Structure 1
Amino acid sequence: MTRLTHALAVALGLLFGAGAEARAAGFTSPSGNILCYLDVLSDLPFDEMPLVCLVFEAEWDLPPDYGDDDPTCDFDRTRTILLRPGQPATARWTCHGDVFWPAPLGAISYGSEWSLADYTCAMATDGVRCGNSAGNGFQVRRSSVTLN
């Protein structure tokens, strides 16, 4: 399966059902607090799609940055970590209405790894570690986040 064909299959799975391809596009932590997925619905080529991780409950905060010049959010907001191929990870808030991420995504167990495109993530009892092939990445858990 070519990368383009795989990306199309994943996108169609996300749009039309919860088949194996949809689950392969991302994962959740066993607790469901951390959700990570490849942004296959972006307009970017498959090899440029970012990895997006959402952290629903955390003890750490972020400056009011929503990826634009407006520091306000009148809707729900979620901590978001973005990792792009060959670039360091960044963190910001995402301002959103109802559910905006691909669902459903299957949980991976502690001690498991997930890989797709340029990214590999490892699930541990102390959080999630994700990286790209350039050696950039992050570690996130309820108590802290480390970006590199």
Structure 2
Amino acid sequence: MRRAAIAAGALALAWGLSGCAGSTPTGSVETPITPSASVSTPTPSPTPSASASVSPSPAVTPSSTPTAPSPTASTSATASGEINLSGKHLAGVLSPSGGIACLFTDLPRPAVRCDVQGAHWQGIPPRPKRCEGGYGDSVELGADKPSLQCHSDTVFGAPDQPTLAYGATAVYHRLRCESARTGITCRNAAGHGFSVSREAVGLF
């Protein structure tokens, strides 16, 4: 009787243990984690805004060659206005056409001589008997009245001989020579002088 009771107790205990083994203990089993919809997807790289874009710099255009300073009248290719040549023993000027050349000298006294290329002056005095070389294309003025020159040389090609622009005046001591489209006119302090061009000469 006692053995039957013990056996029944053992059977009940075994049944209880098997029931415990088949049940799921509360809170002891981990539930698998299902990925939620909040998992972030790779964010695309931001597109640079228009303001952040760098525009290429415009090409640098070389500036024009700076203009050289105007030279002084003594070395200028063209002298304008009034130029004073009194500080030189020899000084020359050319007409803009290049057909008239004048040379100033103070040896032995201030004087100016102008030669004209291709001159065909009419109504001038005849060639003097002792005149050798060129005649009828050169005139000289000093302190007195002007005179036509007999010459075997020329004042063309003298050093330091700038072009005297139309309307410009060259001053040499008390002599003044002005350039015009009609030719060159020179005067002294006494009011005597000459006007020369390729076509004519006037003495006064």
Same fold (TM over 0.5): yes
Q: Which residue of 2 aligns with 1:93?
A: 150
- Name the aligned partner's letter for residue 164 of structure 2: I
1:64 to 116, 127, 131: 127
Within a 5 Å distance, the mapping from 1:57-136 to structure 2 comes to 57-60=118-121, 63-65=126-128, 70-73=130-133, 77=134, 79-85=137-143, 87-96=144-153, 102-136=158-192
Gaps of at least 5 residues in structure 2 are 1-84
Distance 1:99 1:129 in 2: 17
Higher strand content, 1 or 2: 1
Gaps of at least 5 residues in structure 1 are 1-5, 15-24
Over the residues paired in the alignment, what is the CA RMSD in angstroms?
A: 2.6
Q: CA 1:111/1:34 → structure 2, altered by over 3 Å: closer, same or farther?
A: same
Q: Is 2:203 aligned against 1:140?
A: no
Q: CA 1:51/1:72 → structure 2, altered by over 3 Å: closer, same or farther?
A: closer
Higher relative contact order (CA 8 A, sep 6+): 1
- Name the aligned partner's letter for residue 94 of structure 1: H
- The structure 1 segments of at least 4 consecutive aligned residues displaced by more than 4 Å after TM superposition are 98-101
Number of aligned pairs? 117
Q: Is this contact kept in 2: 1:64–1:72, CA < 8 A?
A: no
Identity %: 27
Q: Is this contact kept in 2: 1:83–1:90, CA < 8 A?
A: yes
Superposition TM-score, scaled by structure 2 size: 0.50
- Name the aligned partner's letter for residue 149 of structure 2: R
- Residue 118 of structure 1 deviates from its aligned partner by 1.3
Matched position secondary structure for 1:37: strand
- Residue 120 of structure 1 deviates from its aligned partner by 0.7
